[in-house]
Structure 1
C-alpha cells in the first residue's frame, strides 16, 4: 500500500524539478502583493517575541538567560509546524486541479508546500543565527554542533508532513477537523517549552518532552543552536519515531481516503 504510493512517485519523470518549481511559485504567491515581501516571513516571529518578552521578561521577571533568543529559536520551529499543518488541511480541495488534470502525484503537492515553508524557515533561522551571535550579549561561540539543526529540521519536516497528510485526509470525511486542529494547536503551544524555563517545564510536566514531539524538537534546537552541544539523542530518537509513525499513518490515509478526494470534495 505505502510502497505503491512511493513507487508511483519515484517512477514519474521530472519530479524534483516540479517540486522545486511548485515550491517557488507558492512562496512567491504568498508575498506577491506585499510591498515588504520576504520581511513578512520574519515579522510574525518578531511580533510574537516582542509580546512574550514583555509578558514574561518584563512583567513576570523570568530568569531565562538570553530570553529573546530563547524565544526566537523556539518560535522559528513552532511557526513552521503550525503553517505546514494548518495550511494544508484543505489542500486536496484547493489544489484539486493539480492531481486531476496533471501528472502530479498527490504526495508531491504536500512536499512542495512544505518546501515553500522551508524557504521562510531558512530565512528566519538565518536571522536568529545573526541575532544570537552578533547582538545577544550572553551568546555562546559558534560550534560544529550547530550543524545538528539540519537533522532537527528533517525531523520537523517529516513530522509536519505526516500531520498534514493525516489532517487533510480526515478533512474529506469531517470538515470540522479544521476547527478542532486550531483548538488543539493552541493547547499544544502551551504544552511546549517555547517561553517556559526548561527546568520549570520538566518539573511541572514531567516526561512530557517525550510525549510531545514538538517539545523535544524545540529543546534540542536550543541545545545545538544556543548551548553549542549535541542534541539529547534519546529524545531525538523518540521524536523521529513519532514523525515516522505519523508519516506512515498519513500515507495510509492518503491511499484509502485521498483516492476519492476529488469526488467527495
Structure 2
C-alpha cells in the first residue's frame, strides 16, 4: 500500500514515461504470448471474422437474400469492430485473475492491465485494416477523405471499452462467474447490434435499440469506410458524454476494489 502511495506521489513528468514504457512492454508480452508456437500468428485474428463472414454471406445472399449494397464489406466492417470490442471486454474482465504474479508485486499499477488488453485489441484491428481495404476496393468502394476521422472513432470505442472493463474486471475478482455471464450477454448483444443486418431496413425498431452504444459506433465506421460520409456526430457526442461520466466512476470503483485484490486472489 505504501508503494502504491509512493507511485501516486511520483512527479507527473516521471510517472507518464514509466507508464508508457510499462504499457509498451506489457502489450508486447501479451502479443508474444498470444502467438507463441503459432504457425499463422496474427492471421488467427482474421480467421474467425472471415469464417463468420462466409456464413452470413451464404445465408443472407443465397438462402435468404437481403438487399444490402456491398454486403461483404458491410458485414466485414461490423465484424472487425465487434471482434475488437468483444474480445477486449471479455479478456479484460478476467485480466486481474489471470495476472496474479503482477498483482502481487508491491507498487504495480493495476489499472494499466485493462488498458493493455484493449490496446492489444486495437493493434489487431489496425493489422486487419489492409484486409478490409482490399474488401472495399474489390467491392468497388472508393475511399473518401472522411476516413481521416478513423482515429476519433477508434478513440471513442477504446474509451468506451475501458469504461466497462474497469468495472467488470473488479467485479470478476469477487464473483468469478462474471466472465462467463458476460460471454452470454455479449452473444445476446451481438444480435442486438447491426453486424450482419442493416437496422435502417428494419421497420418498427423500438427506441431502446439505439441505447446500445455499439449501434452508433459500428454505424460510424461504416459511414466513413463504405458510405464515404460523415458519421453521426450527435450519437458519438452523446456516447462521449456518457464515457466522460462512466470512465471516472469505473476507474474509481476499480481502485477502491484493488486494495482487496491480493487477498481475494
TM-score normalised per structure 2: 0.90
CA contact (8 A) 2:192 2:209 kept: no
Are positions 1:22 and 2:26 aligned together? yes
Over aligned residues, Cα RMSD in angstroms? Answer: 2.0
Distance 2:249 2:209 in 1: 22
Q: Please state whether the residue corresponding to 1:88 is helix, strand or coil.
A: helix
Distance 1:147 1:204 in 2: 34
**What runs of 5+ residues in structure 2 fail to find an aligned partner?**
none
Following superposition of structure 1 onto structure 2, how do residues 1-265 of structure 1 map, counting pairs within 5 Å? 10=12, 12=15, 14-101=18-105, 103-133=107-137, 135-137=138-140, 139=141, 141-201=142-202, 203-208=203-208, 210-265=210-265
CA contact (8 A) 1:90 1:171 kept: yes
CA contact (8 A) 1:163 1:250 kept: yes
Distance 2:108 2:120 in 1: 17
CA contact (8 A) 1:73 1:125 kept: no
Give, in angstroms, the shift of residue 208 of structure 1.
4.3
Give, in angstroms, the shift of residue 244 of structure 1.
3.0
TM-score normalised per structure 1: 0.90
Distance 1:8 1:123 in 2: 37
- 180-189 or 60-69, which deviates more: 180-189
Q: Deviations over 1:57-111 (max 9, x none)?
A: 2111011000000001101110001111111212112113223226431121221
Distance 2:208 2:231 in 1: 17
Q: Please state whether the residue corresponding to 2:111 is helix, strand or coil.
A: helix
Give, in angstroms, the shift of residue 7 of structure 1.
5.5
Q: Deviations over 1:125-155 (max 9, x none)?
A: 221022212x113x1x221101112111111
